[in-house]
Amino acid sequence: MNALIVKGNIIYTKEMEQFEVFENSYLVSVDGKVVGIYKALPDAYSDMPIEDYGNRLIIPGFVDLHVHAPQYLQMGLGMNKQLLEWLTEYTFELEKKFKDLNFAQKAYEYFAEDLVASGTLRACVYATSSTAATEILFEILKEKGIGAYIGKVNMERNAPNSILESMEDSLEGTKYLIGKYKDEKLVKPILTPRFAPSCTQELLGELGKIANDYDVPVQSHLSETKREVEWVRELFPDAKNYLDLYGRSGLLKNAIMAHAIYLEEEEMMEAKERDVILIHCPDSNINLRSGIMPVREYLNRGLKITLGSDVAGGHRLAMNEAMVRAIQLSKLINIQSPEVEPLRVSEAFYMGTKAGGAFFGKTGSFEEGYFLDALVIEDHPLVAKLYSIEERLEKFLYTGNSQNICARYVEGKQI
């Protein structure tokens, strides 16, 4: 039997509203999947080695559903700009450099190192339009042992020529990466039309066909700023709305969409009907002054809301920071509109673990049958003595960092 037993203070969310807490207990997994949490270890496992983490916390690994790997170098820069100027003045200039594969290798290693250190064990990642550099990113994240979807970015207009491709080249590179990595266990391809303004209707349609033919998921940006929404209306006058443009291109069968701040009534209905996963990127909402996703309203409507760092719209990779910022933004909304309840800690935690984890199958929780993706958290002994498990987790989310993470497991294997 290929078992892993970790012992400590286990805490996770099964539902948004509350934490499940198992003090000083055994978390048992077989073949990478959780079989149960026990106060006393059942006889069947008594011969198995135990990794005893004492009074430390054991929590599900963080899930970042929206992050741009090349932009890691640009974090914290150009934060006085808004989206479209920021893309032109900083982002596109940096992404050009990834055609140099030496540069890409070094930059992506730097990114991957920090991603894993920060406790992100599953991520949906944008690379650049360079197929060869994207291949490098696949190899680096495979080596790290975390779970990821990686997208070569499809873009054929409205950016400097050096990062644009013809539709044919863009599709060919995309298919090449699908062929090479589709059957990987942990690191897989995802279709990544950058956002509607980077594409023509024809390119979107061709990508929709690939999504269907190869059964590959899709990630993109949706309704991040008012100017962008207006631009999309001008570029695609026939579409009912922004989401419909992706929908009628065949891109919403298994899709995750970042931002979704300014959705119309019909778009909310369509997102729900088609099970589109929406990604709240709170740091990016603030930094680029894009707006604030109305998270509570979306949750009340039954939409699927997850979390993303959106580095480098966001300036931090660590998903505990994204959780805290989501709570803080919800409090700003609550100050303006007291009837709108702010997010609880458990809700933000759920969004950054189980809700996002669902995109990768059963991960992000410690319920039976879930993959054991876990972080072991060490806090100060005085804090550990004074406070409950739930309070200690809250404190780690608000004040902790990679230095508090002393072990990481993906599918029951330490990485």
Output the CA–CA distances (angstroms, integers) from residue 124 to 67, 135, 331, in the order listed: 6, 15, 27
- Contact flag: residue 313 with ligand GUN (CB under 6 A): yes
- Contact flag: residue 310 with Fe ion (CB under 5 A): yes
Minimum CB distance to ligand GUN, residue 221 (Å): 4
- Contact flag: residue 262 with ligand GUN (CB under 6 A): no
> Which listed range, 37-45, 83-91, 235-243, 344-352, lies at the site for ligand GUN (CB under 6 A)?
83-91
For residues 352 and 317, the answer to whether their CB atoms sit within 8 Å is: no
- Contact flag: residue 360 with ligand GUN (CB under 6 A): no
Question: CB within 8 A of 370, min separation 6: which ones?
Answer: 33, 34, 362, 363, 364
Minimum CB distance to ligand GUN, residue 224 (Å): 5
Minimum CB distance to ligand GUN, residue 328 (Å): 19
Residue of the chain from 5, 27, 28, 87 that contacts ligand GUN (CB under 6 A): 87
Q: Which two tokens stand for residue 302?
A: 């039954």
Q: Which long-range contacts (CB under 8 A, 24 or more apart) does 22-28 make?
A: 23/389, 24/55, 26/50, 27/58, 27/366, 27/372, 27/374, 28/3, 28/4
Q: Which of the listed partners (ligand GUN, Fe ion, none) does 87 bind, with a CB threshold of 5 to 8 Å by partner kind? A: ligand GUN
Rounded CA-CA distance 14/256 in Å is: 22
Three-state DSSP at 49 gives coil
Query: Which residue number, 193 or 342, has a Cβ lying nearer to ligand GUN?
Result: 193
Query: Which residue number, 221 or 354, has a Cβ lying nearer to Fe ion?
Result: 221
Query: Which residue number, 195 or 350, has a Cβ lying nearer to ligand GUN?
Result: 195
Residue of the chain from 74, 91, 134, 404 that contacts ligand GUN (CB under 6 A): 91
Q: Phi then psi for 377, rounded to 5 degrees?
A: -115, 125
> Which listed range, 3-11, 20-28, 309-317, 384-392, lies at the site for Fe ion (CB under 5 A)?
309-317
Rounded CA-CA distance 31/45 in Å is: 13
Kindly write down the DSSP assignment for every residue of 221-274, as one continuous string: EES-SHHHHHHHHHH-TTSSSHHHHHHHTT--SSEEEEE--S--HHHHHHHHHT
Query: Which residue number, 29 or 128, has a Cβ lying nearer to ligand GUN?
Result: 128
Number of residues that bind ligand GUN (CB under 6 A): 11
Minimum CB distance to ligand GUN, residue 252 (Å): 18
> Which position has the token pair 């969004």?
351
- Contact flag: residue 309 with ligand GUN (CB under 6 A): no
Minimum CB distance to ligand GUN, residue 66 (Å): 8
Query: Which residue number, 91 or 130, has a Cβ lying nearer to Fe ion?
Result: 91
Residue numbers 280-299 binding ligand GUN by CB under 6 A:
284
User: Which residues in 119-162 belong to E strands, given as ranges?
Assistant: 120-126, 147-151, 153-154
Q: Which of the listed partners (ligand GUN, Fe ion, none) does 194 bind, with a CB threshold of 5 to 8 Å by partner kind? A: ligand GUN
Cα 179–Cα 183–Cα 99 angle in degrees, nearest 5: 45
Helix, strand, coil shares of the chain, percent, nearest 5, are 45, 25, 30
Query: Which residue number, 135 or 283, has a Cβ lying nearer to Fe ion?
Result: 283
Q: Which two tokens stand for residue 272?
A: 């729900």
Q: How far apart are the first and last CA of the chain?
A: 20
Residue of the chain from 270, 310, 373, 394 that contacts ligand GUN (CB under 6 A): 310
Query: Which residue number, 221 or 315, has a Cβ lying nearer to ligand GUN?
Result: 221
Minimum CB distance to Fe ion, residue 71 (Å): 8
Rounded CA-CA distance 175/186 in Å is: 19
Three-state DSSP at 366 gives coil
Binding flags for ligand GUN, 161-190, as an x/- string (CB under 6 A): ------------------------------
For residues 354 and 343, the answer to whether their CB atoms sit within 8 Å is: no
Q: Which two tokens stand for residue 350?
A: 């759920």
- Contact flag: residue 411 with Fe ion (CB under 5 A): no
- Contact flag: residue 204 with ligand GUN (CB under 6 A): no
- Residues near ligand GUN (CB under 6 A): 68, 83, 87, 91, 194-195, 221, 224, 284, 310, 313
- Residues near Fe ion (CB under 5 A): 310
